Amino acid sequence: MSRVLLALSGADSLERIQRALTDEGHEVISSADPNALPRLVTRSPPDLALLDVRILVQETMDLIHFLKSASPQVDIVTITPVELIRQAASTIMRGASLYLVEPVDPRELLQVVANALQRQSNALMVREVEHQTLEGFFGSSPAMTKLFRMVLKVAPTNATVLITGESGTGKELLAQVLHRLSPRASARFVAVNCAAIPEALLESELFGHVKGSFTGAVTDKRGLLEEADNGTCFLDEVGELAPGVQAKLLRFLQDRTVRRVGGLQSHRVNVRVVAATNRNLASEVAQGRFREDLFYRLNVIGLALLPLRERKETLPFLIKHLLSRLTVRHEKEIRGLTPEAAQVLSAYQYPGNIRELENILEYSTIMTDGPTIDRIHLPPLGLEPAVRRPTPALPGRPRSRHRPRPGSSRWKRKRRSTSRRCWRPARATRRRRPGAWGSPAPASGGGSPGRDPAATTRRSSTSPRPGPASVLPCAPSRTTPVKRHIPSNSPLRRHS
């Protein structure tokens, strides 16, 4: 049995409609006094409200808003005369479901009441299914159970929520759950990926712009925060925001007003902000890359999602849920996994979390031809990802990739050209032929046989001492040609 609030100005209409609803088994709460309606609603919240537009026009308080606040799931139907149809249409924008024009047929009214109550029943069943789905998504671990209870407490409020966790853990799904369980469920859910929008366009996308504010702004444009009015705005990857956008978002969170780029007027919007990031914002604040005051504004309620490897008890539910979607997408009939395939998936660590699990199941769905997924249909998985270790360097000087390999033909050519360009005779040769390389010659009897000692001494005194400023260190004096003696161990003797 449902409870119906009936507020009509005409006594005849009130009595006729009340009798029809009572005969159908509904509990009717009726009153023609607008001042008594708030007390009746507070005492017994109704499932359905039938309101006269004449009462809504005369009342000083917003009765529709009061009803929605007391019972968010209530359906409101307005009854209006022909001359007040415009006012009745405005009640639809304020939260009413539909309006009926007088005179009202009792049979039509009963059908409207039955349809409204059926919608509420369906919505209740959907919420129960969603509740069971959420229990399967969160799992039975103590940490996830605590998180689930916190979600149920936070969802009906308007508090700003910050969701943290690794990439692929389901942060956007959790934000949608908060929206679905809130009184804003009938309004829009607007998701914004802050990392995917260029920094120059992000401010315009969030707050909008006016015509002529920059090149290409040919018309006025509402921002995404305005589009999410009365709903929820999900800011994904909020840690990637530029400092200028961080300051403007902080101002919005303080006064809930939006001023478009290039505009002068501010617009007040009623939107709930849910942010998410895979970064440690506390560490980003300590390093000066994120505003501390914005962090405290966003982190009113903090929800931390565990990675999939730490809540593997949710794997059976996630596999069943993902397979039901993939079978529809690829038009296949798959009942489940074999025990061998389930064992492999339960042993894997999932560095990509739920997103990687979905990719694995999609690959297996495409590869299998039967009703079940076996181990051979899974992609190649390792219990731990292989780590490629660098080859240890040999002791000594590190070898460049441009140096030739010893013993190769390129190495021999380079060695031969180097020896010819810069060859230094052996120490015994310099001792045997003094003066030819800039060393002082003996006064007498110390030179080579058949050579004038004075000429040798004169040559050594006139020729400069080899050095980096004159000639190459290994080049002989150019004043007097000297027949070189090639030792037996020199490379030139082997290649000449």
Query: How is the chain split into domains, by residue range?
Result: 3-122, 139-306, 309-377
Spatial neighbors of 314 by CB under 8 A, at least 6 apart, are 136, 137, 138, 139, 144, 308
CA–CA distance, 110 with 88 (Å, rounded to integer): 20
Fold for domain 309-377? Helicase, Ruva Protein; domain 3 (1.10.8)
Burial class (CB in 10 A: 0-12, 13-18, 19+), 276: buried
CA–CA distance, 265 with 220 (Å, rounded to integer): 13
| Helix axes of 106-138 and 142-154: crossing angle, nearest 10 degrees | 150
CA–CA distance, 101 with 43 (Å, rounded to integer): 29
Decide if 3-122 and 309-377 have a common fold.
no
pLDDT in tens, the chain (496 residues): 677 877 777 666 777 777 788 877 777 777 767 677 777 777 777 778 888 777 776 665 677 777 777 777 778 888 877 777 787 787 777 777 778 877 777 777 888 888 877 777 767 666 666 666 666 677 777 888 888 889 888 988 899 999 999 999 989 989 998 998 888 888 899 999 999 888 888 888 899 888 888 888 888 888 899 999 889 999 999 999 998 899 999 999 998 898 888 888 888 889 999 999 999 999 999 999 999 999 999 999 999 999 999 988 888 888 988 898 899 899 888 888 999 999 999 999 999 999 999 999 999 999 998 899 999 999 988 644 444 445 455 455 555 556 667 777 777 777 666 655 555 555 555 455 555 554 455 554 444 444 444 444 444 444 455 544 444 454 444 455 555 666 667 666 655 4
pTM: 0.56
Domain 139-306 has CATH 3.20.20.80: no
Spatial neighbors of 364 by CB under 8 A, at least 6 apart, are 341, 373, 377, 378, 379
Terminal CA-CA length for the chain: 115
pLDDT of residue 468: 47
Fold for domain 3-122? Rossmann fold (3.40.50)
pLDDT of residue 486: 67
In single-letter form, the type of residue at position 338 comes to T
Q: What is the 3-state secondary structure (H, E, C) of the chain?
A: CCEEEEECCCHHHHHHHHHHHHHCCCEEEECCCHHHHHHHHHHCCCCEEEEEHHHHHHCCCCHHHHHHHHCCCCEEEEEECHHHHHHHHHHHHHCCCEEEECCCCHHHHHHHHHHHHHHHHHHHHHHHHHHHHHHHHHCCCHHHHHHHHHHHHHCCCCCCEEEECCCCCCHHHHHHHHHHCCCCCCCCEEEEECCCCCHHHHHHHHHEECCCCCCCCCCCEECHHHHCCCCEEEEECHHHCCHHHHHHHHHHHHHCEEECECCCCEEECCCEEEEEECCCHHHHHHCCCCCHHHHHHHCCEEEECCCHHHCHHHHHHHHHHHHHHHHHHHCCCCCEECHHHHHHHHHCCCCCHHHHHHHHHHHHHHHCCCCEECHHHCCCCCCCCCCCCCCCCCCCCCCCCCCCCCCCHHHHHHHHHHHHHCCCCCHHHHHHCCCCCCCCCCCCCCCCCCCCHHHHHHHHHHCCCCECCCECCCCCCCCCCCCCCCCCCCHHHHHC
